[in-house]
Structure 1
Amino acid sequence: MICSHLANGSMAFPLVPRALRYVEEVARQGSIQAASRELGIAASAIDRQILILEEELGAPLFERQPTGMRPTPVGGLIISLSQRWKTDAGNLAAAVRQMKGVDIGHVRLAAMDSHANGLLPSVISTLVSRHPRIALEVEIVSTDAAVTMLMDDRVDLVAAFNVKPRREIHVLWSADLPLGCAVAPSHPLAARASVRLKDVVSFPLASQSRSLAIRRYMDDRHAWMFSERDAPIVTNSLQLMKKLAVSGSHVAITSELDTAPEILAGDLRFLPIIDDTARPQSIAVAISARRPLLRTGQIVADLLRDEVVGTLAEVRGRVNGGLRD
């Protein structure tokens, strides 16, 4: 988790029904007495609210055990409801502040591992400089996990590769990322303007594991690369894969965005793959289609878009310049 700034969202909590807050705190503390001390509310008042909920629902919310109180499955549903209510209350408070022309808020972003060493540091630096009162929370996950978090309302927006269209997701912006082969400047392939996949497999290959979207993409379209040769190095670490390519011992199939820092530093050459079957990947900034994006979220989404567009333009200028040399 990365926070560029802390935002005060406590004003939103009075909007959450007290019964929900009491249940969540009892579950967190493990007893009514501990929750009473934490909330500064009489234990009898907390117990009364829990009993009222249990009577209305016709089911217990907690198991009373010698070691403490544990939520039942019904109690777990109440806790989830409380957390969603707090998120909505926080969004309401942020929306009201933004209607007053104040950019204060908390934005939750799910992004990819490659972004952590590429575009995210620059995005965060710009955000802190221009909008110091916007808090940014970043979770580094896979595309599948990012989409799940978005649909579960655990993040406000995602920056992810190969996001598949679906009714629950609204893509704000996307761009194609053509496949290429990343090699060290000293590698035998480095002098070429482009390559075909059959050229790539003539050399030791560092490949992504199937936990990553690009490898599943490659398996679906080019499984022969991994079945008709000695096993490549397989890893879920983009950093390791790039280190192997920089060393000259391996080649890597990836995108310009994944290898942008190394391309711009002159540590890697990016050779476009020109096979007709080598379809481009994509990068997208997306939100949930079920709820509107607040102004603070739009600010972060715009920064992400601008950083990707600028990085790709710079990298492609370097790659094209290298082709002319």
Structure 2
Amino acid sequence: MCMLRKCATRDSAVMSLNLLPRSLAYVDAVAKNGSIQAASRVLGISASAIDRQILLLEEAAHMRLFDRHSNGMTLTKAGEMLVVLARRWRNDGNALWSEMQQMQGVDLGQVRIAIMDSQVNGMIPDFVGRVAAEFPLVQLDLEVMSPGDAVQALDQGIVDIALAFNAKPHRNIRALWSERLPLGCVVAPNHDLANEESVTLQQITEFPVVLQSQALSIRQYLEADHEWLIHEGRQPVATNSLQLVKRLIAQGRHVALTSELDVSAEIFEKRLVFIPIADETAAAQSISLLVSAVRELPTVSQLIMDILSACARETLSRVRQV
């Protein structure tokens, strides 16, 4: 799981409804922190109390929830099932609390959103600012994930909303909005290709190419349909850091293949240039706003989702006018 980035915009004195049984909370904490001792420090509960609750659960289930090692603990299959239950239970409690506050006319709650790394320097700061202005008592939990992890988190109830690139269809996930993102070549303003109206994939091989992580769908797409490009490119560089990708492009030597949304902030500031790919074989990517098809969002989450959708649409419209 990627690192959590939180943007808390509600008063710290506002309480949430905690309906999660203590034993499940302890199992989840140990799973997150890797050991009883680490969970004890985070929760402020004695290690012996946590251990006792886990042992009671294991005794009742007649199976181990954790494999115990000299350097920590890892979940068994049964333990993984309990953790999924614990997180869904906690999420349902948060949703119930939000709905109860809505009944009192208070726009309060916690909204958990999966986002992509490239959006952090793009539309997300504007989105957070709008939410803070319109719903000051709402807490946003923004977690950077890969598209596959975002879909899985939605399915498991770990997040409420996802804004994901190239999300694969899933029977329990519904796309409320989706937009095609043509593949493009990104270069510095002083690059030899910068003034071209479009470029071919063959032209790109004449320059050093910087590739994104294999965990990302854009890299998987390139390897599946255009593997020759990776091998024929001059001095290719691969990295899991999008910031490094952008820095290398900005230096003027490297080029990258991605969508305009990946570099929207840099395009607005005229630090990078996006050039469409002319090849008909260069299939478009997509961006989608996703929710669970089996769970209804609380009212406040739907309102936050509308703001996120508007930010995404406006950013895409602006970047295409540059």
Report if the CA contact (8 A) 1:9-1:90 is conserved: no
The SS at the match of 2:243 is: helix
Shift of 1:106: 0.2
Q: Deviations over 1:239-271 (max 9, x none)?
A: 111111111111111111111111111112211
Flag the 1:101–1:202 CA change in 2: closer, same or farther, 3 A: same
Distance 1:268 1:23 in 2: 47
Flag the 1:9–1:79 CA change in 2: closer, same or farther, 3 A: farther
Q: How does 1:84-103 map to 2 (within 5 A)?
A: 84-103=88-107
Distance 1:306 1:10 in 2: 29
The SS at the match of 1:103 is: coil
Structure number with larger C-alpha Rg: 1
Q: 1:227 aligns with which of 227, 231, 238?
A: 231
Flag the 1:5–1:193 CA change in 2: closer, same or farther, 3 A: same
Q: 1:315 aligns with which of 302, 305, 319?
A: 319
Shift of 1:300: 2.4
The SS at the match of 2:174 is: strand
The SS at the match of 1:12 is: coil
Shift of 1:109: 1.0
Flag the 1:241–1:26 CA change in 2: closer, same or farther, 3 A: closer
Q: Which has the higher helix share?
A: 1
Amino acid at match of 2:242: L
Q: Deviations over 1:180-209 (max 9, x none)?
A: 111112111112111111111111111112
Distance 2:264 2:29 in 1: 46
Aligned residue number for residue 158 of structure 1: 162
TM-score using structure 2 length: 0.81
Aligned residue number for residue 171 of structure 2: 167
Aligned residue number for residue 194 of structure 1: 198
Flag the 1:239–1:169 CA change in 2: closer, same or farther, 3 A: same
Q: Deviations over 1:111-149 (max 9, x none)?
A: 111011111111101111111111001111211222222
Amino acid at match of 2:221: Y
Flag the 1:306–1:63 CA change in 2: closer, same or farther, 3 A: closer
Report if the CA contact (8 A) 1:105-1:134 is conserved: yes
Shift of 1:22: 8.1
| Percent identity for Structure 1 against Structure 2 | 42
Q: How many residues align?
A: 307
Aligned residue number for residue 17 of structure 2: 12
Aligned residue number for residue 254 of structure 2: 250
TM-score using structure 1 length: 0.80
1:3 matches 2:7? yes
Flag the 1:88–1:270 CA change in 2: closer, same or farther, 3 A: same
Report if the CA contact (8 A) 2:165-2:285 is conserved: yes
Report if the CA contact (8 A) 2:214-2:220 is conserved: yes
Distance 2:134 2:262 in 1: 26
The SS at the match of 1:135 is: strand
Q: Deviations over 1:204-236 (max 9, x none)?
A: 111112111111111122111012344411111
